[in-house]
Amino acid sequence: MSAYAAPLADLRFALGQVFDLKTLAGLKEFEHATPDVIDAALEEAARLAGEAIAPLNGPGDRIGSKLDNGVVRTPPGFKEAYRQFVEGGWNGVAFDPAYGGQGLPWLVAMAVQEMWTSANMAWSLCALLTQGAVEAVAAHGSDSQKALFLEKMVSGQWTGTMNLTEPHAGSDVGALRSRAEPAGDGTWRIKGTKIFITYGEHDMAENIVHLVLARTPGSPPGTKGISLFLVPKFLVEEDGGLGRRNDLRCVSLEHKLGIHASPTAVMSFGDQDGAIGTLIGRENEGMRCMFTMMNNARLSVGLQGVAISERAYQQAAAFARERKQGRIAGMKSTDSAPIVAHPDIRRSLMTMRANTEAMRLLVLQIAESMDFAHRHPDKALARRRQEWVELLTPVAKAHATDLGVEMTSLGLQIHGGMGFVEETGAAQHLRDSRIAPIYEGTNGIQAIDLVARKLPIGGGAAVRALIGDMAKAPGLADACKALSASTEWMLATLPKDADAALAGATPYCRQFGIVAGGWLMARAAEAAAKQAGKGEGDAAFLAAKQATARFYAQQILPLAAALTGPITAGKDAVMALAAEAL
């Protein structure tokens, strides 16, 4: 597996030229986010990712995490790398300084997070889940919970998990059966089994804070009767010290297609008297509280599509420059050319490069919008940016992770037979990428969420305004016209025939992603041209930015218009065969 080098030039260009880091730094909460601080953070994160975390990726895949007599042992080096991560304050980049965080914009936090994920996706999952748990506790936790847990979770000294899925209840969370009984002292006793719990047990931190969904006595059926509980691996004393082990354990670890180094645990709560937990938020409002964590995680999972594509692209490009195969015009019959000289390989590499850059910009656009929505004093602007977050998050999660699979597959294809064998590491990227379209809400669910919940915001006013903004970018008129037609069909069809609309939800989500990518690539090209016109920056880098955007406009963006037909075809062909005939 080739070495990983963080794409610092791309990230600096995006933050400084495409997005409005200058305005964010002018807000009171972010006044410390000066250019030199941000640049130093990016530089140091790149060093840690490249030197300490990336070298563990291949060995971690081969060795995996192991369950040994109730203790999960991560691969060699994982604990040490995580210790460096915590000591550097990296877990708290975007979190409240009152709890030890750095209080930097999410725009910066997502740029840094891409590096951890590209370097080692399996390793990075521990911090990803902790980040989401911090968001949930900060938003919905009691004063006592915040005082006891947030500082150590923000630092990463304690990690967090999300416990939703049960053997009989996957995406249908409302079917869960885990129970919580009041203990009479303000705590609850939780009993049940949860599966697919990422880093549910491990040896990298001294405590693990589980956020667990369960039903309380007399709760209504379905998702309306679910509550959220904070259940630590070790109970926490009033002074913040660790007490006795809670009544929970890891029963087994899943054997998976990829992310082998990430321990995916089957967790049993309450084998004896019940695991002790405290209620987060109010009873029966667990899904509302958990969605704070899930929405955070969904953007981070979308970022995984970007990160794994970047890693696969770097490796494929390096291989294509070195691997000699075939000849080009004018070459001696005894010579051979590096495969990067062949037009089809160039097309493949440019497809990887352009899609990765577009996905990166989409995730960063959402992160910037989160910052404006939460911090900007102009309420109208903040509300508009929150609408962007709501509309674009399911698009980023689904489209970027679908492309993550496609781009890693394309990277493997560039390697030819050497990609299909494990020794090059190209296969690991493909295997690791495949989970991202599944967890944190399958991509089909993201498409349904986009169509059924997000498009109707304001009677469709929010999505129409966003498409209008996209259409202002050069070269986007035809693509936005297609997206607008699909959107209007969806808005008109959904109230009358939901199945007809949902039959086209997945291609609609892809169309939205392609057009959003084109919008942002056009903005990047404009920014590069503007810099070049002033004689600023690296001329070759800026020329490459414009060339990549032109490739996206010519080779990828036109695919959006072709999707309007499948989107608006309705349900007849989709539902034509009876279930038993499939």
> How would residue 321 be classed by pLDDT, with cut points 50, 70 and 90?
very high
Pairing between β-strand 207-215 and β-strand 158-163 as defined by DSSP bridges: parallel
> How would residue 496 be classed by pLDDT, with cut points 50, 70 and 90?
very high
Read off the pLDDT of each residue in 397-421 and give the average, rounded to a whole number. Answer: 98
Read off the pLDDT of each residue in 107-128 and give the average, rounded to a whole number. Answer: 98
Given a contact cutoff of 8 angstroms between Cβ atoms, the answer to whether 391 and 369 are in contact is no
Instruction: Tell me the one-letter amino acid at 267.
Output: M
151-204 pLDDT tens trace: 999 999 999 999 999 998 777 777 899 999 999 999 999 999 999 999 999 999
Q: Please, which residues bridge with residue 17 across strands?
A: none
Read off the pLDDT of each residue in 313-340 and give the average, rounded to a whole number. Answer: 88
Residue with tokens 């029963």: 251
Read off the pLDDT of each residue in 483-509 and give the average, rounded to a whole number. Answer: 98
Given a contact cutoff of 8 angstroms between Cβ atoms, the answer to whether 24 and 105 are in contact is yes
**Catalytic pick among 440, 488, 526, 536:** 440
Q: Residue 474 burial (CB < 10 Å; 0-12/13-18/19+)?
A: exposed
Instruction: Say how far apart CA 49 and CA 553 lie, in whole Å.
Output: 32
Residues 6+ away with beta carbon under 8 Å from 472: none
Q: Kindly list the domain boundaries of the chain, sorted by start residue.
A: 456-571
Q: What is the pLDDT at residue 2?
A: 75
Please name the helix (run of DSSP H) or strand (run of DSSP E) that holds residue 448, with its range, or none: helix 443-449
Please name the helix (run of DSSP H) or strand (run of DSSP E) that holds residue 228, with its range, or none: strand 226-232
Instruction: Say how far apart CA 131 and CA 145 lie, in whole Å.
Output: 16
Instruction: Say how far apart CA 230 and CA 207 lie, in whole Å.
Output: 13
| 151 catalytic per annotation | no
Helix (H, G, I), strand (E, B) or coil at 497: coil
Q: Please, which residues bridge with residue 266 across strands?
A: 252
Instruction: Say how far apart CA 316 and CA 288 lie, in whole Å.
Output: 42
> How would residue 352 be classed by pLDDT, with cut points 50, 70 and 90?
very high
Asked whether the predicted pLDDT for residue 551 surpasses 80, the reply is yes
Asked whether the predicted pLDDT for residue 144 surpasses 90, the reply is yes
Average pLDDT, the chain: 96
**Rg, C-alpha atoms of the chain:** 24
Task: End-to-end CA distance of the chain: give it in Å, rounded.
Answer: 41
Read off the pLDDT of each residue in 24-34 and give the average, rounded to a whole number. Answer: 93
> How would residue 325 be classed by pLDDT, with cut points 50, 70 and 90?
confident
Q: What is the pLDDT at residue 168?
A: 84
Better pLDDT: 223 or 95:
95
Given a contact cutoff of 8 angstroms between Cβ atoms, the answer to whether 210 and 231 are in contact is yes
Instruction: Say how far apart CA 468 and CA 462 lie, in whole Å.
Output: 10
Asked whether the predicted pLDDT for residue 474 surpasses 90, the reply is yes
List the one residue out of 134, 138, 176 whose CA is nearest residue 154. 134
Q: What is the pLDDT at residue 334?
A: 73
Asked whether the predicted pLDDT for residue 331 surpasses 80, the reply is no
Instruction: Say how far apart CA 149 and CA 134 lie, in whole Å.
Output: 9
Read off the pLDDT of each residue in 571-582 and give the average, rounded to a whole number. Answer: 96
